[in-house]
Amino acid sequence: MSTTRAERLVNLVLCLLSTRQFLSAERIRGIVPGYSDALSDEAFYRMFERDKTELRDLGVPLETGRTGSFETTDGYRIARRDYELGDIDLEPDEAAAVALAARLWDSPQFTGAAHGALIKLRAAGVDVDQDVRAAVEPKVRTSEPAFPSLLAAVQAGQVVEFDYRRLPATDVATRTIEPWGVVARRGRWYLVGHDRDRNAARCFRLSRVVGQVRTVGKPGVVERPADVDLLSFVATTQNDPAPASPTRLWVAKGRAQGLRRRANVVGEQLVDGELGDLVEIELRFPDSAARWIAGFGPDVLVIEPEVLAKSVRERLLGALRSQRGAEVGS
């Protein structure tokens, strides 16, 4: 099943599960992302029939009926009482596997589409069950650009190569890794594998991967050792967080209020002819701080330390390249 169709089916389930009314095919077409891509009515109905069959084959209890006597066409919904599972007893290893799968599913791609579907439902006047939102709230960030490529390499058993920045140094070095797995710990994602350059097992924080991940050689050549516990390996090799260090930033006048609430203004400074405030703030985690600061765009500039300034610049350039790529693709 393609990713596009899988996302459409997820959105369709959320749509039909979130309403107490029967929704006609035409209303579903206007609400669920993906159906608007159909070039004609005939193409839409073929797509919708395939999706209904797929859901029923998966065991989803799809109901057909009419909300009121004035309705002229049948509609669809999913009854929560039939859809939800009863109590399930899992062994510890089974529970761990389910938890990992849930963390991988909780990604912005799915949760963003789900949130958009709920908004469209309300805008269309559909009575939405508010409790459904709890099922699609993200728990773990999977927005690291390197995540999809590294996870695919792990699944394919293929060697990868990438540029990696190790703090507190500012230099970037190329690493060649036999990937064993991608795991999350304390809200951060790590790649664990065999470092060919150092001939030893290593773990790498995904937020420090610079640029694109490149595959090396053929798939199926990497096997994870049976005696390696990835989470335990990350826990024993990662040091405790460094103490908070002072950071100096330039902030445009009247902008970045969220940052200003955590900082102290220590002066003013001209940057490219624009007068802004010079602020100081203590940051404990440079990687997550770089992502946060980059989100303010041109309104915030890192003055020092240089390693943080470089990290922010790389994230902004990466976002610019992605935007240009999307424009070219469209």
Question: Looking at the domain assignment, is residue 103 inside a domain?
Answer: yes
More confident call, 134 vs 286: 286
> Which pLDDT score, from 0 to 100, does residue 310 have?
85
The closest alpha carbon to 178, from 194, 197, 201, belongs to: 194
Report whether 160 contacts 151 (CB < 8 A): no
- Band (16; pLDDT cuts 50, 70, 90): confident
Q: At what angle do helices 108-123 and 3-17 cross, to 10 degrees?
A: 40
In this structure, what CATH number is given to the domain that contains residue 8? 1.10.10.10
Contact 108, 143 (CB under 8 A): yes
CATH number where 163 lies: 2.30.30
Of 6, 15, 107, the closest CA to residue 58 belongs to 6
Give the mean pLDDT of 102-121: 52
Inside any domain, residue 226: yes
Single pTM value for the model:
0.41
Residue 226 is classified by DSSP as T
- In this structure, of 98-112, 201-215, 308-322, the range with the lowest mean pLDDT score is 98-112
- Higher local confidence (pLDDT), 143 or 228: 228
Do both 77 and 104 map to the same domain? Answer: no
Measured distance CA(118)–CA(19) in Å, rounded: 10
pLDDT value of position 175: 94
Say whether both 223 and 295 belong to one domain.
no
Does 217 lie in the same domain as 173?
yes
Q: Are residues 59 and 104 in the same domain?
A: no
Asked if 247 and 280 touch (Cβ cutoff 8 Å), the reply is: yes
In a domain, 110, yes or no: yes
Q: Return the structure tokens found at 295.
A: 């989100």
Greater confidence, 206 or 5? 206
| Tens digit of each residue's pLDDT (9 = 90 or more) over 18-66 | 887 888 888 888 888 888 878 888 988 988 898 888 888 777 888 888 8
Domain boundary among 214, 237, 260: 237
Residue 320 lies in a domain: yes
| Residue showing tokens 């995540």 | 147
- Given a cut of 80, whether residue 240 has pLDDT beyond it is no
Does residue 146 lie within any of the structural domains? no
Q: Are residues 47 and 98 in the same domain?
A: no
Same domain, 65 and 101: no
One domain for residues 232 and 253? no
Pair 60, 132 in one domain: no
User: What is the domain extent for residue 59?
Assistant: 2-83
| Domain assignment of residue 147, yes or no | no
* Range 95-121 average pLDDT: 53
Q: Supply 121's token pair.
A: 């439902």
Please report which residue ranges of 88-200 form alpha helices under DSSP H: 92-105, 108-123, 147-156
Whole-number Å distance between alpha carbons of 207 and 54: 37
Structure-block tokens of residue 147 = 């995540």
Report pLDDT for 137: 40
Point out the domain boundary residue: 74, 108, 141. Answer: 141
Structure tokens at 236: 């024993």
pLDDT of the residue at 85:
56
**CB-based burial label for 179 (10 Å; 0-12, 13-18, 19+):** buried
- Structure-derived torsion over alpha carbons of residues 215, 216, 218, 222, reported in degrees to the nearest 10: -90
Domains in the chain, number? 4
Same domain flag for 232 and 159:
yes
- Own/partner long-range contacts of 115-120 (Cβ < 8 Å, ≥24 apart): 116/33, 117/11, 117/14, 117/15, 117/18, 117/31, 117/32, 117/33, 118/14, 118/18, 120/30, 120/31, 120/32
Average pLDDT over residues 100-115: 52
Residue 148 lies in a domain: no
User: What per-residue confidence (pLDDT) applies to 87?
Assistant: 56
DSSP state of 199: T
Mean pLDDT of the chain: 77
Give the range among 79-83, 147-151, 284-288 with minimum mean pLDDT: 284-288
Query: What are the tokens at 319?
Result: 């976002």
Alpha-carbon span 153 to 213, nearest angstrom: 9
Residue-wise pLDDT tens digits, 75-96: 888 877 666 655 555 555 555 5
Confirm whether 45 is domain-assigned: yes
CA distance 60 to 62: 6
The one-character DSSP state at 211 is: E
**Among 65, 83, 101, where does a domain finish?**
83
Which residues are registered as beta bridge partners of 35?
none
Instruction: Categorize the per-residue pLDDT at 202 as very low, low, confident or very high, splitting at 50, 70 and 90.
Output: very high
Q: What confidence score (pLDDT) does residue 301 get?
A: 93
Q: Is 98 a residue whose pLDDT tops 80?
A: no
Q: Taking residues 202-214, what's their average pLDDT?
A: 90
**Residues 126, 201: one domain?**
no
Q: Do 261 and 307 belong together in one domain? A: yes
